[in-house]
Amino acid sequence: MTKLPPDTRTRGLHELYAEDPEAADRLLWNREVDPVTRRGFLKRSSLLAMAAAVGGSIPFADKMPGGLIPAALAQSDEPFTLEGKEGLTVLNDRPINAETPAHLLDDDITPAKYMFVRNNGIPPEVESIDADTWQLEIGGESCETPQSFSIADLKERFEHHTYQLQVECGGNGRSEYVPSASGNQWTTGAVACPTFTGVRLRDVLEACGIKDDAVYIGYYGADSHASGDPDRDPISRGVPMSKALEDESLIAWAMNGEDIPYQCATRRAWQCGGWPGSVSGKWLKRIVIRNQKHDGTKMAAPSYSVPRHPVAPGSVVPNEDFVTIESMPVKSLVTFPRSGIEHALDDEMTVRGHAWAGDLAVAEVHVSIDFGATATAPSQAGPNRLAWQRWTSVVEFPEPGYYEVWARAIDEEGHAQPMVVPGWNPKGYLNNACHRIAVQVA
């Protein structure tokens, strides 16, 4: 597995440290918060365990930045893995964030183990989100009759639905922006498309009564803020009523037919396809119906927002000039073969991947082996609205040498993926540049 340079791995940790050094220290050294990992330093273990991991005491331990991954370990050949998520690339361990290499996203339906992990705060203790005792509250100023539901209530009272829903982090592709934007340096792997089973949010909200002045919903999860402050939410986002009430918006208890696994987040989730992953809530505790745009944590600019008009790279953009990201732009991925393979000249090569376009459908995918000069357009299809669409193509190489296979998707309104990185934005969102893989033909 590829080793990450130490600066990539620790970037988010340094930020947390700069923000609140005491809290960062407390979190790093004193709390057992992460049940999903196995490596000593990932376990938020004691200084002793850290010393054991590097093979000796650490005289200047009090000067070590919180979250620093000791070079002795960062340089080891041992892969840096999360239990149950083997093969994913860990970008940050405080909080845990990991992405999926393109070739592991080849399944039509993403298995839980290959679902990227994106945490804004500290995941709740496993015991605290027990399926039998869990309650979801529905409330807010535009809710007529606030109510609480157990999973059993939801299952009994409302019709069940299953949809395959595409989830992509708004920051997927951030690593390619120059100047670089702070945050997890996602390359291409913060995207997935599992199936979710649950009840329609619409049915549940209607049972609680939606007042005429309702315009937005917001969610709250059971995770806690990285500072440890119980009064701060790590994230609390939402969507306008029109998106919340569409058929595919679910309160889900199952992913791919099984209970939603703890570390891919969810357990109980509100799932909303086609928009940035951040509008779907994990470890869902509460949904509020609002008479104004939801004002929870990370709703305001510059979070999950882009400049209203294009800006020069590196610009400082005032908050009032941002707009909240809604439907995600058209994008595609080559998931087979794996980049860097060797291929025999005489054989045709099958190439395949997925394409998606937020709320829209993908109309065409172009596959090119000559850097976009010419292309073939394989057909593509998906199971339901808001799921990614599978495309497959067969290519032949004219002579030996180095090739790149490029894929470029075009949505039903004619928007095409840019060949290279699109316009810069301060937080590094929405990079939908064409994906490409390398092939050596001999």
> Given the rule CB under 5 A, which of 38-46, 146-154, 166-174, 292-300 is the region that contacts Mo ion?
166-174
- Quick one: what does residue 140 bind among Mo ion, ligand MTE, none, with the CB cut-off 5 to 8 Å set by partner type? none
Contact between 110 and ligand MTE (CB under 6 A)?
no
Burial of 298 (0-12, 13-18, 19+ CB in 10 A): middle
Closest to ligand MTE by CB, 184 vs 380, is 184
**117, 143, 244, 369: which one binds ligand MTE (CB under 6 A):** 117
Chain residues 110-139 in contact with Mo ion, contact rule CB under 5 A: 118
CB 361 within 8 Å of CB 274: no
Q: Examine residue 265 and tell whether it contacts ligand MTE (CB under 6 A).
A: yes
Pick one of ligand MTE, Mo ion, none as the site partner of residue 386 (Cβ within 5 to 8 A by kind).
none
C-beta closer to ligand MTE: residue 231 or 346:
231
Q: Give me the sheet containing 389-395, strands edge to edge.
A: 331-336, 349-356, 389-395, 380-381
Note whether 277 binds Mo ion by CB under 5 A: yes
Neighbours of 437 (CB within 10 A): 22
Query: For residues 386-415, which are near ligand MTE according to CB under 6 A?
Result: none
CB 304 → Mo ion: shortest distance, Å?
Answer: 8
**Beta pairing partners, 20:** none
For residues 372 and 275, give the distance between their C-alpha atoms in angstroms, rounded to a whole number: 28
What does the per-residue mask of binding to ligand MTE show for 160-199, with x meaning CB under 6 A?
A: ---------x------------------------------
Task: State the Cα–Cα distance between residues 350 and 336, nearest whole angstrom.
Answer: 8
Q: State how beta strands 117-118 and 135-139 pair.
A: unpaired
Q: Is 365 in the site for ligand MTE (CB under 6 A)?
A: no
Rounded least distance, CB 76 to ligand MTE, Å: 26
Phi, psi of 232 (to 5 degrees): -110, 140
Indicate which single residue of 37, 110, 120, 432 sits in contact with ligand MTE (rule: CB under 6 A): 120
Residue 288 touches ligand MTE, criterion: CB under 6 A: no
Distance CA 161, CA 143 (A): 24
Give the residue, chosen from 235, 360, 386, 430, that forms a contact with ligand MTE under the rule CB under 6 A.
235
Choice between 110 and 368, CB closer to Mo ion: 110
Backbone φ and ψ for 13, nearest 5 degrees, come out as -70, -40
Question: What is the smallest separation between the CB atom of 368 and Mo ion, expressed in angstroms?
Answer: 30
> Pick from 198, 281, 329, 378: which binds ligand MTE (CB under 6 A)?
281
Pick from 97, 110, 278, 417 the residue near Mo ion by CB under 5 A: 278
Determine the 3-state secondary structure of 112 from DSSP: helix
Stretch binding ligand MTE (CB under 6 A), from 56-64, 113-121, 325-333, 426-434: 113-121
Query: Which residue in 4, 27, 98, 169 binds Mo ion (CB under 5 A)?
Result: 169
Judged by CB under 6 A, the number of residues near ligand MTE is 21
Which among Mo ion, ligand MTE, none contacts residue 235 (Cβ within 5 to 8 A by kind)? ligand MTE
Query: Which ranges constitute the DSSP H helices of 103-212?
Result: 151-157, 201-208
> How far is the first Cα of the chain from the last one, in angstroms, to the nearest whole number?
25
Query: Which tokens hold the place of 357?
Result: 């376009």
Listed ranges 50-58, 109-117, 143-151, 181-189: which one lies at the site for ligand MTE (CB under 6 A): 109-117
Q: Shortest approach of Mo ion to residue 277 CB, angstroms? A: 4
* H-helix or E-strand spanning residue 74: helix 71-74
Residue 389 β-bridge partners: 355
- The span from the CA of 219 to the CA of 238, in Å, is 6
Residue 225 neighbours by CB under 8 Å, 6+ apart: 121, 122, 232, 233, 234
**By three-state DSSP, how is residue 8 classified?**
helix
In the complex, the smallest distance separating the C-beta of residue 234 from ligand MTE, rounded to whole angstroms, is 5
Residue nearest to Mo ion (CB): 169
What is the bridge-based pairing of β-strands 195-200 and 160-164? antiparallel
Residues that bind ligand MTE (CB under 6 A): 115-121, 169, 221, 223, 234-235, 264-266, 277-278, 280-283
Residues that bind Mo ion (CB under 5 A): 118, 169, 277-278
